[in-house]
Amino acid sequence: MKKSPREKQDGTRKLGRRALMLAGIQLGVVTTLALRLRSMQLDHAEEYRLLADGNSIKIRLLPPARGLIHDRNGLLIAGNEQNYRVTLTREEAGGDVEPVLRRLSQLIPISEERIAELLEEFSKRTAITPIVLADRLSWEQFSSIAVNAPALSGITPESGLSRAYPRAGDLAHVMGYVGPVSDYDLSKIEDPDPVLMLPEFQLGKVGVETKLETLLRGKAGARRVEVNSAGREMRELSRQEGEQGATVQLTLDAQLQNYAAQRMGEESAAAVVMNVQTGDLLTICSSPSFDPNKFVRGISSADYRALMDHDHRPLADKTVQGLYPPGSTFKMVTLLAGLDSGLINSGTRYYCPGYTEVGGRRFHCWRRGGHGTVDPIQSLEQSCDVFYYELAQRVGIDRIGAMAKRLGIGVPHDLPMSAVAEGIAPDRAWKRARYDQPWQIGDSLNASIGQGFVLASPLQLAVMTARIASGRAVSPRLVHAIDGVPEPLPEAEALGLDEALLRMARGGMDAVMNGPRGTARRSRISREDWRMAGKTGTSQVRNITAAERARGVISNEQLPWNRRDHALFVCYAPYESPRYAVSVVVEHGGGGSTAAAPIARDILLFALADGLPPLDAVPADQRADMEARHAAMNLYTPQPTAPGRSRA
């Protein structure tokens, strides 16, 4: 069909508009390309010229600052300090690092032995792995290296952070320490965080540092840098700082911990202070201690050998790893097992002639002449062994073992500390499983007084004491808050023991301290509002033969140190309204009343007084000694800027 002239004219106009539109689009594209080319050729010419000469962009990880750790009052107990160091990357040094090391040795001291060690380490690592050549440099050394860096291929001076423990040995066993990541550390991690590959990156090795590693480590940052063909860093293009690890607040009181450490002195000992109501651990102190800062900085062979060879085992955490026969501190367990079973009551009395004979064998009381007739309260006050020999034969080991576990012995307690021991609360099934032997009546008699197979840690003895004092299954805890958010405090369930039975056990512990024949009467607290209840314990570490008994038992003072009895003591106060429970173990200390009780009493007084206790808190004849002892101490006094104290 033939188009009309009008239709032809409209078609021509439409075609013209489309052509103009297409031409405009083409012009815009060409203009954009021209502007981009101009920018690349003029504005960014230097950048592209450098890249064309062999430059490249690399991403370098930035180690995060490790999280801080504070005590319950906000005092810093694990922090970070400035550390100047220098690293070398073999790839950036052109593959041959020895000439660089030689030149660097003209700026800072590097011995031939150290150069040999570094060359061996470079041979084991990939070419792109930076190796720390020296750290903890002075500012002058660091500045000298930075100025000469252009002549030192592959060298990178770095300013970073290193872990520091301002309280040194006071909290070493709890805190643990950090150290460089080893191949062994990496082998234990299924998918290692790339930050662990950074040179000399530190991670927790033991204690809180390793148990809370994920929280404390933080997240790595990154920076984009431009390096030339020789591997020299030309400039930093961008930087994103890492995310610092969490700030952790522990339940510990650094001042009380410091006092406990000094009060134990050079003894091989352990002390635990626990809040009876919340389970907060205010002190968990092992003596002697060590300086964790030496491990962070690289402990010398001589220092490490001295720690390993020390007969008091300063590297061992005796509070949670040490297991000891609890001795007579276990008698409350046996007593409560008998009371709870209904087999004895407050009127039950047993006669003690100084021994019990079972199956032709004599089991002796600590008092050779015996105690005469004693009731439950007197059995604790005078620590009569025969009372518990008689009781064990009636109650049986299974009830005793079950009560021990109810009170916290023979069960693991969940704490962020290394190698927390479970202890042993034996029963028939345990011996069959462990030794494939039947339980014997003699085993029960030994267990009834905390000897034989029974083993407990100082932590467990503190838990036992806190549960007797409160009547609740309170559990120990060490972490108070994370990033300012308090950790949940679960309500402790009732022990399920009749309050009248618990009052009887507490009454016996009160008589130990305040009764006329109490075994620890000399270590009592004089102030009535801080009245203390406690129990002494002495556990044998050697067998006493019949011949020795006939001649007379050799005193602890006449024996070598490592053959003397362990001294133990547990206590709580105030008696009517308990706040704190304390346990102290002095290895090879002799008697619990003479070696452990005075230490525990003084530590408990410091907690109650929130500082050095008034002298009127102890008997008059002991006040001069206490005053002199405190005057000789170098006690930790925090700055007044610390947050308000709270032991609630």
- Cross-strand bridge partners of residue 163: 80
pLDDT of res. 566: 94
Of residues 604 and 559, more confidence is placed in 604
Four-point Cα dihedral 500, 506, 508, 509, nearest 10 = 170
Tokens of 195: 């930050």
N residues, the chain: 648
CA distance 328 to 334: 10
CA distances from 177 to 169, 180, 434 (A): 11, 11, 35
CA distances from 153 to 69, 91, 133, 219 (A): 39, 10, 14, 30
Region of poorest pLDDT, from 2-11, 171-180, 230-239, 414-423: 2-11
pLDDT of res. 642: 41
Q: Report residue 609's pLDDT band, with 50, 70 and 90 as the boundaries.
A: very high
Q: Which domains are seen in the chain, by residue range? A: 58-90+99-250 (3.90.1310.10), 254-291+318-632 (3.40.710.10)
Q: Are 575 and 534 in contact (CB under 8 A)?
A: no
Tokens of 250: 């522990």
Q: 3-state DSSP call for residue 137?
A: coil
Q: SS3 for 347-381, per residue?
A: CCCEEECCEEEECCEEEECCCCCCCEEECHHHHHH
Of residues 139 and 256, more confidence is placed in 256
CA distance 463 to 17: 93
Q: Report residue 7's pLDDT band, with 50, 70 and 90 as the boundaries.
A: low
Q: Is the pLDDT of residue 534 over 60?
A: yes
Comparing CA positions, the residue from 490, 388, 405 lying closest to residue 449 is 388
Comparing CA positions, the residue from 173, 122, 179, 196 lying closest to residue 299 is 179
| Average pLDDT score over residue span 121-143 | 78
DSSP character string of 118-134: HHHHHHHS-TT-EEEEE
pLDDT of res. 640: 44
Comparing CA positions, the residue from 111, 198, 113 lying closest to residue 160 is 198
pLDDT of res. 648: 37
Mean pLDDT (the chain, rounded) = 88
Q: Report residue 641's pLDDT band, with 50, 70 and 90 as the boundaries.
A: very low
Of residues 542 and 456, more confidence is placed in 456
Q: Report residue 646's pLDDT band, with 50, 70 and 90 as the boundaries.
A: very low
Burial class (CB in 10 A: 0-12, 13-18, 19+), 115: middle
Residues 6 or more apart whose Cβ sits within 8 Å of residue 169: 261, 288, 289, 290, 291, 292
| Average pLDDT score over residue span 207-235 | 81
Q: Are 461 and 566 in contact (CB under 8 A)?
A: no
Beta strands in 291-413 (DSSP E): 350-352, 355-358, 361-364, 372-374
Q: Is the pLDDT of residue 643 over 50?
A: no
CA distance 62 to 82: 15
pLDDT of res. 90: 80
278 φ, ψ (degrees, to nearest 5):
-105, -20
CA distance 379 to 385: 8
Residues 6 or more apart whose Cβ sits within 8 Å of residue 551: none
Q: Is the pLDDT of residue 15 over 80?
A: no
**In this predicted model, what pLDDT tens digit does every residue of 65-93 receive, in sequence order?**
999 999 999 999 999 988 777 888 887 77
**In this predicted model, what pLDDT tens digit does every residue of 518-531 receive, in sequence order?**
999 999 999 999 99
Q: Is the pLDDT of residue 607 over 80?
A: yes
pLDDT of res. 316: 96
CA distances from 510 to 458, 524, 595 (A): 21, 10, 19
Q: By percentage, how much of the chain surpasses pLDDT 70? A: 88
Helices 597-609 and 254-264 pack at an angle, to 10 degrees, of 160
| Average pLDDT score over residue span 285-314 | 92
| Average pLDDT score over residue span 274-287 | 98
Is omega for the bond preceding 643 within 30 degrees of 0, making it cis? Answer: no
CA distances from 155 to 100, 148, 233 (A): 8, 10, 10
CA 122 to chain centre: 35
Q: Write the Ramachandran bin of 552: left for phi over 0, alpha for psi from -120 to 50, otherwise beta.
A: left
| Average pLDDT score over residue span 495-505 | 97
Tokens of 120: 């061996």
Q: Is the pLDDT of residue 552 over 70?
A: no
